[in-house]
Amino acid sequence: MDNTNNPFLEKYKKKADERKIEGTGEAAAGEEQPDLAYEIKSGFVKPEKKQSSGQPAKAAAKTGRQAIIIAGAAILVIVIVGLVLLLNRGIEMIDLTGWTENDAQLWARNNGILLQTEQEFNDEFEAGRVISQSVAAGSRIKKGEFVKLTISAGHDLSVTLPIPDFMSMTRQEIDAWAAENFMTKVRITTEYSDTVEAGRVIRFEINDDTVVNEIRRDSPIYIIISKGPEETEGAVVEMPDFKIMSVSEAYVFAEENGLVLTVEEQYNDFAPLGAILSQSIKAEEKVPAGTEITLIVSKGKMITIPDFSELAKEVAPSVAGELGIAITINERYSSKPAGAFISQSIKPGTVYESGQVVELNYSIDNRITLPSFVGQTRDAIEAWAKELNNNGASIRIKVTNTKSNSPPGTILSQSKANTLIGISATINITVSSGKVVYVPDFVAPAGSGYDAAITREKAIAICEELNIVPVFVEQSKSGRLPGEIWSQSISAGKEINEGSTITLKYTPANVQVIVPDFTNLTKADIWAKNYHKSFDIRFVEGTEYKEGMEDKVYVQSLQAGTKAASGSIITLTLRPKQSGLPGGADPDAEG
């Protein structure tokens, strides 16, 4: 086939030459080009030769799984982010204005919103209603965030306003003024007046001493409106149906219309208490003012007091309750056995009146367990008897006193003990009046020193030891030492019972003396100086021997030069007559 002058081949060769020059760079301009031959290329592509890893199938599978995991993780992240964005959008705030605080709190809890509330007075919204909110309706708010609500506290009753001219106002104008200004204590009543026309104010009162020119919303105001002149002649009243009224309403109607109302009561098994059963003048009948009308009012069903003696103690309350009878149950000792009926305060068959209380008395028992009170005080058995007697036991305690070594008031014997006794029994007891003591001589001879005189402190110690009760009377007496007993109400040596009382008179102990220096003085020196008339001196023998200082004071309990009350106890320590050391050695001698 002659390919010369074949346009398709010429064109193909030209394009091939261009590709060689651009792609390989081997042919250059002016160089000799090889002949090109037409060829048809196959569509087969030879695969690239890859290096063998030893496990080609396994590697491919692993790569596939990794790709799936990565893709799944990415999808999960996208879903989570979407949910977070969706939840963080929050909720849409609604308009809570006018809601009650409880309803607003319920809505907030259901939607996860936290509320803060504050109150303020408001004349537009009633108390407890929402006035305003901090987040506008339609806004979005996240759960857990706070919304502030302003809650109405109602009308501010402390608000003041000028006192209007009540005298020129009608009742309708006063009512409108009170409503407009939220007045809470305006009271309007009416009365007849010959000078003020009906519907006009006769007078008014403001019961608040602090009011001058202005009043508060809660100021008490009483306004009396005229009903015009009272029609004394020819006034006609049309009778209402009193059966549909209460008794109090009937009284108000009668007073306002000049009727004389009489109320009589009678029992009725069907009409409730207080219901009007009939009226002496029929409804719609016209009568002149001043007419007397009688109303018959129900006292409810007639109740008669039952005979509670026929009922068991346990049944009585339920029977009384069913009948509407108030009762109280008392228990007391009697001649009847335990639980037996004794009496009732209102006789059986009596008509029960509202407000009455029927007392029912039942027996505790007719026998009493008497324990032994021997060794206890008389007060113990008397308190026991008093408690029983308050419940009707009538126990009597007969007492015989006798001297003994037991403390006064101790029960020594009892006629009956650890047994059952009947009511009104008498119990004989023997009570100790204490042992016999002899009154000591509390009064020393006049002129004695504190070594012999009995002071108030010494008397207290003596009385405690003898178990008698001293009563001290402070009274001055010449020739007696401060604090000295100079009189006793029971003479010395007299026999008295333990626990008896004795009155002792003593001079006031109000003298201060200076404590002398007793050091190196003997007993004879101290008596010679009459120190025993200023102090209650106590001598004790010491243990520190010193030659030439035997029987001399070397220690005193009160410091020399200080002040002490006259009669104060002072202890003086004397040196011993001989050394207590072996061989009679002097502990103060130099070694």
Alpha-carbon separation of residue 545 from 44, 234, 569, 590 (angstroms): 146, 132, 25, 14
In the predicted model, what is the mean pLDDT of residues 39-60?
50
pLDDT band at 213 (very low <50, low <70, confident <90, very high): confident
Task: Look at phi and psi of residue 61 and say left if phi exceeds 0, alpha if psi is from -120 to 50, else beta.
Answer: alpha
**pLDDT value at position 62?**
63
Which phi and psi angles does 461 have, rounded to 5°?
-65, -40
Q: Is residue 63 part of a domain?
A: no
Nearest to 509 by CA among 470, 535, 530: 535
581 vs 336, which has greater pLDDT? Answer: 336
Beta strands in 127-275 (DSSP E): 130-133, 140-141, 146-152, 160-162, 186-191, 201-206, 214-216, 221-226, 236-238, 260-266
pLDDT band at 233 (very low <50, low <70, confident <90, very high): low
In the predicted model, what is the mean pLDDT of residues 446-463?
92
% of the chain at pLDDT higher than 70 = 85
Q: How far apart are CA 224 and CA 163, in angstroms?
A: 16
450 and 409 within one domain: no
405 vs 513, which has greater pLDDT? Answer: 513
**pLDDT value at position 229?**
83
pLDDT band at 428 (very low <50, low <70, confident <90, very high): very high
Burial class (CB in 10 A: 0-12, 13-18, 19+), 409: middle
Return the SS3 of 118.
Answer: strand
Q: Is residue 373 part of a domain?
A: yes
End position of a domain, from candidates 347, 363, 379: 363
pLDDT band at 583 (very low <50, low <70, confident <90, very high): very low
524 and 577 within one domain: yes
188 and 207 within one domain: yes
For residue 530, the domain's CATH number is 3.30.10.20
502 and 440 within one domain: yes
**pLDDT value at position 193?**
87
**pLDDT value at position 147?**
93
pLDDT band at 232 (very low <50, low <70, confident <90, very high): low
Residue 585 has pLDDT above 50, yes or no: no
446 and 384 within one domain: no
pLDDT band at 157 (very low <50, low <70, confident <90, very high): confident
End position of a domain, from candidates 108, 130, 152: 152
250 and 214 within one domain: no
Angle at 562 between CA 556 and CA 566, to 5 degrees: 85
Give the chain's domain count: 7
Q: Is residue 492 part of a domain?
A: yes
Q: Is residue 176 part of a domain?
A: yes
On average, the pLDDT of the chain sits at 85
517 and 496 within one domain: no
Q: What is the pTM of this model?
A: 0.39
Q: Is residue 68 part of a domain?
A: no
In the predicted model, what is the mean pLDDT of residues 470-478?
94
C-beta of residue 53 within 8 angstroms of C-beta of residue 59? yes
322 and 290 within one domain: no
In the predicted model, what is the mean pLDDT of residues 468-495?
94
Residue 251 has pLDDT above 50, yes or no: yes
Residue 97 has pLDDT above 50, yes or no: yes
User: Domain limits at 457?
Assistant: 436-506
For residue range 116-137, what is the model confidence (pLDDT) as tens digits?
Answer: 999 999 988 989 999 999 999 9
Which of 26-30, 292-296, 481-485, 576-580 has the lowest average pLDDT?
26-30
**pLDDT value at position 308?**
94
For residue range 171-186, what is the model confidence (pLDDT) as tens digits?
Answer: 888 999 999 999 988 9
Q: How far apart are CA 294 and CA 187, in angstroms?
A: 31
Residue 414 has pLDDT above 90, yes or no: yes
pLDDT band at 559 (very low <50, low <70, confident <90, very high): very high
Q: How far apart are CA 155 and CA 182, in angstroms?
A: 7
Q: Is residue 40 part of a domain?
A: no
Which of 16-25, 202-211, 274-283, 395-404 has the lowest average pLDDT?
16-25
**pLDDT value at position 560?**
94
End position of a domain, from candidates 298, 317, 335: 298
Q: Is residue 22 part of a domain?
A: no
Q: How far apart are CA 270 and CA 268, in angstroms?
A: 6
572 and 524 within one domain: yes
Q: Is residue 467 part of a domain?
A: yes
% of the chain at pLDDT higher than 90 = 58
For residue range 339-391, what is the model confidence (pLDDT) as tens digits?
Answer: 999 999 999 999 998 889 999 999 999 999 999 999 999 999 999 999 999 99
**pLDDT value at position 407?**
87
Residue 36 has pLDDT above 50, yes or no: no
